[in-house]
């Protein structure tokens, strides 16, 4: 990092994450309607370099994979406007952002968690360089990341990460995420193979989806169920009960999508191949007694989740049954990772 008060740079690499109990629905500004918990990934990440220069007016320029990107700029500007309400010094700069993902932009993998957490970490480094005091660097980064994208708050830590107030999770907060460190070691090197079923833009964005839940007749019930599932998940994480893990994780994925399908207007993000894959995972599990399971994000792609002991069986399932349902046979191999790292500029 090279810096003076007038100008400087910071650079971070931050991973994406996959939720086991889903955040779906918000109250007020970026406050979750229920707690959620995710695995931080390793290979799917964003690298962002932030350049700042003193200016009388806050402005941003965004370069995505080396090229100026006008489409991303409004979201980044809005992020800076919001976070500068908390850190007014940020208003006195103009920003250049160079960002790239390790996963293809068109792969249908949401980049908001990795992108917004990388940006928030760069901003925290900038605040430190400018002489600000941040009592807990990662907590502040999580708080700022949440302002950009709720799920991004969980990406600033590695392993299992919880976000949202819940009595069973010590130190939990609606404002920032906290790492969950007490899990059984069966969850240590969990694998996530992301099966690409659909590429390109989703028909309904997450922010519209969160909004549609407000008028959903089952919204309140959903928030209660999610809080109960967080309670059950804690027991499962502590005991290492993989049968219960499979049941809960699949329930959460399918509940998320049933809420989408029964929103008004209704929308369906799953594709026929999503369902074909789910069916094959379940059939395979029945026949082979493994703990290979799945979850879904707000999209058609299937996250094939499995413990280390099932790696060989998962490979067999993937090669023999699932790869034919992926766009051009595409999938991304990932696993639980250690969280973000700061890079040299």
Residue ranges binding ligand PMV (CB under 6 A): 19, 22-24, 36, 110, 112, 149-151, 206-207, 210, 256, 297-298
- Give the nearer residue to ligand PMV in terms of CB position, either 19 or 332: 19
- Give the nearer residue to ligand PMV in terms of CB position, either 93 or 245: 245
- Give the nearer residue to ligand PMV in terms of CB position, either 35 or 317: 35
Cβ 205 to ligand PMV, closest distance in Å? 8
Contacts of 341 (CB under 8 A, 6+ apart): 12, 13
Structure tokens at 275: 């369902």
Let me know: does 301 contact 327? Beta carbons within 8 Å. no
- Give the nearer residue to ligand PMV in terms of CB position, either 23 or 190: 23
- Give the nearer residue to ligand PMV in terms of CB position, either 9 or 234: 234
Cβ 16 to ligand PMV, closest distance in Å? 9
Let me know: does 326 contact 197? Beta carbons within 8 Å. yes
- Give the nearer residue to ligand PMV in terms of CB position, either 192 or 310: 192
- For 191-245, give the DSSP string: EEEEE----S--SS-HHHHHHHHTT-TTHHHHHHHHHHHHHHHHHHHHHT-HHHH
Helix and strand element counts for the chain (H, E): 8, 14
Cβ 209 to ligand PMV, closest distance in Å? 7
Cβ 15 to ligand PMV, closest distance in Å? 13
Q: Are strands 26-27 and 7-21 parallel, antiparallel or unpaired?
A: unpaired
Burial of 232 (0-12, 13-18, 19+ CB in 10 A): middle
Cβ 35 to ligand PMV, closest distance in Å? 10
Q: C-alpha dihedral over 26, 32, 36, 38, to 10 degrees?
A: 90
- Give the nearer residue to ligand PMV in terms of CB position, either 22 or 45: 22
How far apart are the C-alpha atoms of 165 and 37, rounded to whole Å? 11
Cβ 227 to ligand PMV, closest distance in Å? 14
3-state secondary structure 315-339: HHHHHHHHHHHCHHHCEEEEEECCC
Cβ 258 to ligand PMV, closest distance in Å? 13
Residue with tokens 């707000």: 298
Question: Roughly how many angstroms between the first and final C-alpha of the chain, as a whole number?
Answer: 5
- Give the nearer residue to ligand PMV in terms of CB position, either 47 or 152: 152
Cβ 274 to ligand PMV, closest distance in Å? 14
């Amino acid at each position: 990092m090279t810096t003076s008060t007038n100008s400087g740079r910071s650079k971070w690499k931050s991973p994406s994450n996959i939720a086991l109990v889903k955040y779906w629905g918000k109250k007020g500004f970026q406050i979750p309607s229920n707690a959620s918990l995710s695995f931080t990934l390793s290979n799917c990440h964003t690298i962002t370099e932030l350049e700042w220069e003193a200016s009388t007016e806050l402005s941003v320029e965004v370069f995505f994979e080396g090229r100026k990107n006008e489409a991303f700029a409004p979201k980044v500007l809005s992020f800076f406007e919001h976070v500068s309400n908390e850190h007014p010094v940020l208003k006195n700069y103009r920003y250049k952002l160079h960002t790239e993902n390790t996963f293809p932009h068109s792969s249908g993998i949401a980049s908001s968690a990795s992108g917004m957490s990388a940006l928030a970490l760069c901003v925290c480094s900038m605040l430190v360089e400018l002489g600000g005091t941040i009592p807990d660097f990662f907590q502040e980064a999580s708080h700022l990341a949440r302002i950009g994208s709720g799920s991004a708050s969980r990406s600033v830590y590695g392993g299992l990460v919880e976000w949202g107030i819940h009595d069973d999770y010590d130190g939990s907060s609606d404002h920032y995420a906290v790492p969950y460190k007490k899990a059984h070691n069966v969850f240590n090197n969990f694998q996530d193979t992301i099966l690409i079923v659909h590429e390109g833009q989703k028909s309904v964005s997450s922010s519209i989806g969160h909004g549609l839940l407000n008028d959903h007749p089952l919204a309140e019930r959903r928030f209660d169920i999610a809080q109960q599932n967080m309670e059950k998940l804690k027991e499962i994480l502590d005991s290492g009960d993989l049968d219960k893990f499979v049941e809960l994780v699949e329930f959460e994925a399918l509940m998320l999508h049933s809420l989408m399908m029964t929103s008004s207007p209704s929308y369906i993000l799953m594709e026929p191949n999503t369902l074909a894959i789910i069916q094959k995972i379940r059939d395979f599990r029945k026949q082979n007694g493994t703990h290979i399971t799945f979850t879904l994000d707000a999209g058609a792609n299937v996250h094939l989740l499995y413990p280390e002991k099932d790696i060989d069986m998962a490979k067999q399932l993937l090669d023999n049954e699932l790869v034919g349902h992926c766009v051009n046979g595409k999938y991304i191999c990932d696993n639980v990772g250690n969280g973000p790292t700061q890079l040299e500029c």
